[in-house]
A and B are shown apart, each in its own frame.
Chain A
């Protein structure tokens, strides 16, 4: 006989404690009680001798014995004793099947994959277990996912094994073992083994951390074969600061094998060669190459590492370059040479100048600039009105001032960011009657002279001509137009980066002045993804290949996560754990549970004690005691 829930020591300690409590309660229960009666006459007549014995004497040993015996039986039932040998009991095993990206590596000359090998080992492990043992299949990559519950049905387990495929992320083994331990602890029955079947490749961070908790029931079934692999780890693109048509491209590659490699790395854009390098990759080293490519066109940028290794999934990365958006502006002016230098300074602005007589309210442009001109109909798109005639101004005019001095710029707003002038006097300026919701960008003593009205469409009114007043020599003029254009169409002027990487966790350092509320992480289909920001670093996790957009203020970073996450370190199993497939073990004759019988006996004992000696019973059911007990008492 053996105990399933408690050890013998634990059972004895518990039994001793319960017995002590029972004896104490018994003595308290049987101690002398005070009772008020109408007369003592008949008690004296009853000729019962006055109690002179010690108080703590056990008066009804049979009652105490029954109580202790019954509680002992109940404790035994809790301990779940079984008849038979411990080896014959049903155990709960957890089989952790490595489904990390690396398990897709080819072996035996490309005939099989590591995953298929692991599946064979898993089936062998199942066959080695007694048929009565219960097994849970757990698929583990960066996330741990149970494929079955604790199951004795071998067909279901084998189906779960066959349905396991390599994922895109690296193995998080610590998390998987922790999950297995919890599952065993929460399940009824005896915990069996935690068998890890896989390549044992984990990330460098995890390999540095020792395994938490006991490893006595851990078994490692390695699926290893010498696999040489070189692969791309990262590809990134960004526009050159000086030339908007020039892309700066960064490609990183790593040698995961044990021999040095020299491999050609080529870059193709839209099928046409865009660059080529030869990479010297020592064992375990990572190298980065930089390319430059000039284009405004959209298309697929493909980086290929020409190698014939066992893991081709990381040899090729493709990024989609989006079309270069520019702001299309229609300028209606009879003196176009005044505004042309201001607009030409920004390469992302495509300005077209028209005489005022060719005005159209639907110009098929993103923005309309009206230079001292009252259009017959208000434009349907965003517009900037420069010194509009008083009767035709979109914002009511308060007055017209001569030689006013610019009193203040609203530098706290994005529209007035960086704008400042000193003792600047305008020849003349129109002062507007701004609504409370309007943004006053610049003011003279008489009121606002530059007003922006949010809404759809957005309207900006400038009460003077920047190129015909003293401000044209100020730095504030191009900055003002830059701010106005960014405010009307922020998506055109957003800083934009494209990064290709591997599936898994994504980290990005944020600007120091950026509020967390200005950060959004969007998936390919526009859904918001969860993320955390800790110490100015954004963290998010992507479990499947795809594209993630991080919008942080005026900055947008697109992560094209198509490369598999390849772990770079072999896990060092702790000393003392079992390895390999265990020898086949047949199920024993089986052990028999007897806790139900013990529980019934214990309950019956307590009921009998209550029936014979219970104080409340004597009040509720006044029955006569059996003859043998009356004689005994």
Chain B
């Protein structure tokens, strides 16, 4: 029995009016969301100029020649070609509790990938936990979306997160700078701020999407608890009361704020989202406001 698709058709149709947005101009790359000053091999017409020896004969405006008996060359606007990459967290913490953050993350990744494909961007989805997983690269239009869906549906959430190792390998594997969307809960045994700072320092534009469950932020348990960390299996015995829960929530919020500050400090963006919010509401609400998509 085939499993249900990650995203329904109606939602995909709505996504077609969006564009993945980035702000930086990357060295060695043309593009960005401002109109290019350079003419080149794009689709959009830019201007005419006189034909010079050695120009491409295919770009000659033959209609103008018949009318004016002069050779004019058509010039086209250069389209941006900034690589868009997505780091998708597949560690064990993503599947702790219900509903699973991992399902939410996969849906979000699929939605952003579809937005990019519609705009003819090239997108690489790179799962990670302790290390980088097998990536999925797609581009060339919306008709290439189906393999992406199959790829995302086949991913499993397991293992622990090692951000430092992941960043080290990512930088090695992708020397070209570009937009880097990190979809994760950023929770685990080790801190993720420093590795993320390394990525920013390397020249990537960061779009951090933090996903959490309500219980990750505001636990409902009371009394004596034997807490087990999903990724490492480490245990902690605590006695939870209302004060402890408030402290916990405060600590979580401070962590989210530190991620947001990191992104802002490096000309990136940060969006936090609870799994209780519908994915459509998130994309067309929080993500648009954060200028992740436009």
Contacts and interface: CB of A to CB of B under 8 A. Distances in A.
Interface string A36-58: 11111111111111110101000
Interface string A193-208: 0000000000000000
B238 A43 contact: yes
A42 B240 contact: no
Nearest to A615: B222
B247 A32 contact: no
B188 A39 contact: yes
B244 A38 contact: no
Contacts of A34: 225-226, 228
Contact of A37 (B227, B241, B247): B227
B282 interface: no
Interface string B89-101: 0000110110001
B189 A39 contact: yes
A31 B96 CA distance: 22
B219 to A, nearest CB: 8
Given A36-B96, A46-B251, A51-B237, A31 B229 contact: no
A32 B220 contact: no
Interface in B109-139: none
A592 interface: no
Contact of A49 (B185, B225, B239, B255): B239
A81 to B, nearest CB: 36
B280 interface: no
B216 interface: yes
Contacts of A41: 187, 189, 251, 255
Interface string A451-482: 00000000000000000000000000000000
A633 interface: yes
Contact of B97 (A38, A47, A51, A59): A38
A171 to B, nearest CB: 70
A35 B93 contact: no
Given A42-B252, A43-B236, A35 B224 contact: no
Interface in A280-305: none
Interface stretch (A132-140, A174-182, A617-625): A617-625
A542 B140 CA distance: 103
A46 B249 CA distance: 9
B221 A33 contact: yes
B122 to A, nearest CB: 32
A630 interface: yes
Contacts of B222: 615, 618
What's the interface size class on A, roughly?
20 to 34
A45 B229 contact: no
Contacts of B239: 48-51, 53, 59
A36 B248 CA distance: 15
B234 interface: yes
B229 A37 contact: yes
A30 interface: yes
B247 A38 contact: no
A37 B237 contact: no
A40 B224 contact: no
A52 to B, nearest CB: 8
Nearest to B254: A45
A34 B241 CA distance: 16
A45 B230 contact: no
Contact of A38 (B224, B230, B238, B241): B230
A59 B223 contact: yes
A73 to B, nearest CB: 26
Contacts of A622: 220
B294 interface: no
Interface centre among A37, A53, A630 (most CB of B within 10 A): A37
A585 to B, nearest CB: 59
Interface string A19-39: 000000000001111111111
Nearest to B93: A38
A42 B248 contact: yes
B261 interface: no
B242 interface: yes
Nearest to A29: B223
Interface string B57-97: 00000000000000000000000000000000000011011
B224 A33 contact: yes
B228 A35 contact: yes
Contacts of A630: 242-243
A43 B223 contact: no
Contact of A35 (B187, B226, B241): B226
A627 to B, nearest CB: 11
A39 B248 contact: no
A42 to B, nearest CB: 4
B223 A38 contact: no
B244 A46 contact: yes
Contacts of B226: 32-35
Contact of B93 (A33, A39, A44, A45): A39
Given A38-B97, A45-B251, A46-B248, A32 B240 contact: no
Contact of A39 (B229, B241, B244): B229
Given A35-B221, A630-B242, A40 B237 contact: no
Contact of A50 (B96, B229, B238, B251): B238
Nearest to B252: A42
Nearest to A31: B224
Contacts of B225: 32-35
A246 to B, nearest CB: 98
Contact of B248 (A33, A43, A55, A625): A43
B197 to A, nearest CB: 18
A9 to B, nearest CB: 37
Interface string A421-455: 00000000000000000000000000000000000
B230 A50 contact: no
Nearest to A59: B223
Contacts of B221: 33, 35
B238 A36 contact: no
Given A46-B244, A46-B251, A37 B96 contact: yes
24 contacts: A34-B225, A35-B228, A36-B96, A36-B227, A36-B229, A36-B230, A37-B228, A37-B229, A38-B94, A38-B212, A38-B213, A38-B230, A39-B229, A40-B236, A41-B187, A41-B255, A43-B238, A44-B236, A46-B247, A49-B239, A51-B224, A619-B220, A630-B243, A633-B242
Closest 8 CB pairs of A and B: A46-B247, A32-B224, A45-B251, A38-B93, A39-B187, A42-B251, A48-B244, A38-B187
Given A37-B97, A44-B236, A50-B239, 11 more contacts: A31-B224, A38-B94, A41-B187, A41-B251, A43-B244, A46-B244, A48-B243, A48-B244, A59-B224, A625-B242, A630-B243
